[in-house]
Amino acid sequence: MSLPIRIPIIYSGVGSLEQLRYFTEKRILIVTDKTIRQMVGDKLSDYFKDKEVKIYDEVEPDPKDTIMIKGGDFAREFKPELIIGIGGGSAMDTAKAMYFLYGQPSLKLYDMNVGIPYNLSEKSKLVLIPTTSGTGSEHTPGLVTTNTETGQKISLASFEIVPQAVILDPTLVLSMPKKLTISTGLDALTQAIESASGKMGSDFTQALNLYAIKILFEYLPKAAGEGAGDINVRAKVHYAASMAGIAFGHSGLGIAHSFGHALGGAFHVPHGITVGVMLPYAIEFNKPECEEKYVEILECLKITGIKDPTAKLSSMVKDLLKKLDTPLSIKGLGISQKDWEQNFEKLVNWTKGDILTLINPRMASEEQVRKIFQYAYEGKTIDF
């Protein structure tokens, strides 16, 4: 079964941020963090100089539910006609949460349910503008928040938080530092490979996935290296990441992400790094269900006639991780044996309850979750 495909109006290209001048809404709420506000705040003020504008700039990395709830109260007081989320995945997820809470003032954040109509667009519109190349949040019906009480990362979803419009201006990512380029790029590649390997995709999502995989394998190392200042290289990665966002938002992800969520929540490692490290192990575990999909992925990379497609794809991901100076194991992230043992049961519980574990192509029992974690910590190839 494939999910219905909902795609926003997409404005792309160098200078496409200028499109904001032509939005007709008069009351505009901008959701961002303090760094992005300093970077583009003056430009946004110029675009909206004849309109009533307020800025909510309290977004933080891995945004807590309290930040989103506070933002919802901010939106309810201001009553915007247009909500603009500009920044990385945290800013866009926070804008989605605020859009939901403003549109449904009687509901709480954790009331969000993918199967319920909310008619959010009757009160305001949502526009998302990524300033990193990786999360794909600008296209997805989901958001991730951190539960303040437990520290667990929790995924919420509603197809109504897919925005009305997305702006992809590669000039906004030219200044991304190397570590952020690597982290967000690995997130995009993991999304594309997991989405391409899943069971809920379609020909439409697969076309986007395969092209994104091809571009990211080729251009992500360039964007993190000698091509960092090349607008054409940055554009390739930026657009590929957004394509992966459209695809996985309508086909789902898997255990690289559910395991990555748990690791990020417990050890505060950047999301893109945790899912990137887990990707080879997810590929190997899913072999019984996904090998034909792996053949398709390799064919898009012009690799054919491989006896063990799973091993080849996993090896290619590991080679890319090495090229990007990213560890190949959880232990390589700097997590000590003591910290690992102290957090292990929490990791297992969080992962087995994550929706992405439940929709992974191959069902993972609690015992298998434990073994995958231990293999990944030690850097061992999955052989079960």
Q: Residue 5 has what pLDDT?
A: 83
CB 211 within 8 A of CB 198: no
**334: number of Cβ within 10 Å:** 10
Q: How confident is the model at residue 339 (pLDDT cuts 50, 70, 90)?
A: very high
* Residue 28: strand pairing partners: 53, 82
Quote the distance between the C-alpha of residue 62 and its chain's center. 11
Question: Which tokens in the block code for residue 45?
Answer: 């003020």
Quote the distance between the C-alpha of residue 280 and its chain's center. 18
Domains of the chain, by residue range, sit at: 9-173, 178-378
Q: Residue 55 has what pLDDT?
A: 96
Which ranges of the chain does DSSP label H, i.e. alpha helix?
Answer: 34-47, 65-78, 89-103, 178-197, 203-223, 231-248, 255-267, 271-285, 287-300, 309-323, 337-353, 355-358, 366-378
Q: Output DSSP code: residue 134.
A: S
Averaged pLDDT for residues 138-150: 93
User: Minimal CA–CA distance to 74: which of 58, 92, 91?
Assistant: 58
Q: Residue 115 has what pLDDT?
A: 82
Q: Residue 114 has what pLDDT?
A: 87
For 62-116, the pLDDT digits (tens) are 899 999 999 999 999 999 999 999 999 999 999 999 999 999 999 999 999 988 9
Torsion of CA 244, 96, 251, 197, to 10 degrees: 50
User: Minimal CA–CA distance to 150: which of 68, 66, 222?
Assistant: 66
- Pick one of 2.60.40.4070, 3.40.50.970, 3.40.50.1970, 3.30.420.40 as the CATH number of 9-173: 3.40.50.1970
For 264-319, the pLDDT digits (tens) are 999 999 999 999 999 999 999 999 999 999 999 999 999 999 999 999 999 999 99
341 contact partners, CB below 8 Å, separation of at least 6: none
For 248-268, the pLDDT digits (tens) are 988 989 999 999 999 999 999
Please state, in angstroms and rounded to a whole number, the distance separating the CA atoms of residues 72 and 88.
19
For 5-27, the pLDDT digits (tens) are 889 999 999 999 999 999 999 99
Instruction: Classify strands 82-87 and 52-56 as parallel, antiparallel or unpaired.
Output: unpaired
**206: number of Cβ within 10 Å:** 20
Percent of the chain with pLDDT over 70: 99
> Ramachandran region of residue 84, left (φ > 0), alpha (ψ -120 to 50) or beta?
beta
253 contact partners, CB below 8 Å, separation of at least 6: 190, 191, 194, 195, 198, 356, 359
Please state, in angstroms and rounded to a whole number, the distance separating the CA atoms of residues 65 and 151.
10
358 pLDDT exceeds 70? yes
CB 8 within 8 A of CB 139: yes
Q: Residue 2 has what pLDDT?
A: 57
Mean pLDDT estimate for the chain:
96
Same fold, 9-173 and 178-378: no
> Ramachandran region of residue 325, left (φ > 0), alpha (ψ -120 to 50) or beta?
left
Please state, in angstroms and rounded to a whole number, the distance separating the CA atoms of residues 133 and 237.
6
| CA-to-CA separations, 358 to 37, 255, 318, 354, in angstroms, rounded | 38, 9, 25, 7
Please state, in angstroms and rounded to a whole number, the distance separating the CA atoms of residues 334 and 327.
9
Q: Residue 1 has what pLDDT?
A: 55
For 15-74, the pLDDT digits (tens) are 999 999 999 999 999 999 999 999 998 899 899 988 999 999 999 998 999 999 999 999
Instruction: Classify strands 125-130 and 142-146 as parallel, antiparallel or unpaired.
Output: unpaired
CB 167 within 8 A of CB 129: yes
| Residue type, position 334, single letter | G
CATH 1.20.1090.10 fits 178-378, yes or no: yes
Q: Residue 294 has what pLDDT?
A: 98
Please state, in angstroms and rounded to a whole number, the distance separating the CA atoms of residues 286 and 301.
20
Three-class DSSP category at 130: strand
